[in-house]
Amino acid sequence: MAENRTALVSLNDGELEGVLRQMGHSSFRAKQVRQWLLKGAAFSEMTNLPLNLREELSERFTELALSREYEMHEEETDTTKFLFRTADDIIIESVGLIYDGRLTVCVSTQAGCAMGCSFCSSTVGGLIRNLSSAEMLSQLILASRISGHEVSNIVLMGSGEPLNNYDSVKEFLLYIMRKDTLGIGIRHITLSTCGIVPGIDRMTEDGLFVNLSLSLHCAVGSIRVRLMPVERKYPLEEAFGACMRFRKASGRRITLEYCVVEGLNDTDECAEALRRLMKGTDSEVNLIDYNKKEGYRKLNSRSAADRFAAKLRKLGIDYTLRRRLGSSINAACGQLRSTYVKDRQDLK
């Protein structure tokens, strides 16, 4: 059922102070309210606020821009896949991974996605809409509250192409980096893009120097286009060129994501094309195992990803095999959501 109340977390500092003043309370209350919201507290738990303020707030507002819908925990990898519901009844997906006691959250930036990558469930129903910065923030707050850990890293690798929702993504990142909010360091944030050239250039111009990861998946354009239709609009050489401009301005090393699809992008020709593309740059490759029938899977010793890794090793290419974090997180991209909303008329 659609929620009509505004999410308090979506107000900026000035707006929040204004609302509190209008209710007859001093603006210093804004800081207290903000701290509670960031902890994921309900109005009833905001015990240092006067009772009448808590009551009035709950009549007019919801705390967050999302509500908790469903979650699934995978013991083996300590990964939780979360489904959250927006005020207009869209189900979105986030993933939380606890590693060494620290929580990494994989955030969705759009509901659905228009980009059509062939290995991705998020794009099956197309783009529903962009998510607001408050909806991205609410994913972090809820994931942290539910898992009982503070967020230490975030990856923008959930549903959606973050650079197609640039303004909200930037607003979200600048907000969570603030010392008086979540204080997440810029080095603990990774943005993954399928290669939206103007978006990468905007990050460079704006000095948004988070870790940048390019979903490459093949350095041969005629093969890449079969996996990623974006290749037609922004060929990989142009996307990589934009990444290199970002690299020069930021000093940050670029990561190339590479799902190894057996029989498609794991040939000698593909390895050689990757070597040529990366030559003279200090970028690195994240190899992710992918199987046409099963989708993403955990790596085994004789997988196509291992064989491709051996080819890269011979060519002197720097790579990492994503055995845990990457594969777990990517495995969730849109898959749980699409299973959950199937046959439910009340959800989008």
Return residues touching ligand SF4 (CB under 6 A).
Answer: 113, 115-117, 120, 122-123, 159-161, 194
Contact indicator for 262, 293 with CB cutoff of 8 Å: no
Minimum Å distance from CB 123 to ligand SF4?
3
Contact indicator for 274, 318 with CB cutoff of 8 Å: no
User: CA nearest 275: which of 220, 321, 196?
Assistant: 220
Minimum Å distance from CB 196 to ligand SF4?
9
Question: Of 16 and 259, which has the nearer Cβ to ligand SF4?
Answer: 259
Pairing of strands 91-99, 79-86: antiparallel
Question: Of 161 and 266, which has the nearer Cβ to ligand SF4?
Answer: 161
Minimum Å distance from CB 272 to ligand SF4?
25
DSSP string, 238-294: HHHHHHHHHHHHH-PPPEEEEEEETTTS-SHHHHHHHHHHHTTS--EEEEEEEETTT
Question: Of 302 and 342, which has the nearer Cβ to ligand SF4?
Answer: 342
From the candidates 93, 135, 231, 257, which is the catalytic residue?
A: 93
Minimum Å distance from CB 194 to ligand SF4?
4
Q: Which residues contact 219 (CB under 8 A, 6 or more apart)?
A: 236, 270, 273, 274, 276, 277
Q: Which two tokens stand for residue 289?
A: 């195992």
Spatial distance between the Cα atoms of 172 and 148, rounded to a whole number of angstroms: 22
Question: Of 194 and 270, which has the nearer Cβ to ligand SF4?
Answer: 194
What phi, psi does 208 have (nearest 5°)?
-85, 75
Spatial distance between the Cα atoms of 328 and 76, rounded to a whole number of angstroms: 10
Query: Which residues in 126-161 are b (16+ Cβ under 10 Å) and which e?
Result: ebbebbbbbbbbbbbbbbbeebebebbbbbbbbbbb
User: CA nearest 210: which of 253, 164, 157?
Assistant: 253
Minimum Å distance from CB 296 to ligand SF4?
11
Minimum Å distance from CB 149 to ligand SF4?
25
Collapsed DSSP state (helix, strand, coil) of residue 219? coil
Spatial distance between the Cα atoms of 79 and 72, rounded to a whole number of angstroms: 8
Catalytic (active site) residue 272: no
Catalytic (active site) residue 93: yes
Question: Of 234 and 246, which has the nearer Cβ to ligand SF4?
Answer: 234
Contact indicator for 248, 295 with CB cutoff of 8 Å: no
Question: Of 61 and 290, which has the nearer Cβ to ligand SF4?
Answer: 290
Minimum Å distance from CB 130 to ligand SF4?
13
**Looking at the DSSP assignment, which residues form a beta bridge with residue 213?**
192, 255
Question: Of 9 and 157, which has the nearer Cβ to ligand SF4?
Answer: 157
CB-based burial label for 229 (10 Å; 0-12, 13-18, 19+): middle
Q: Supply the residues annotated as catalytic.
A: 93, 333
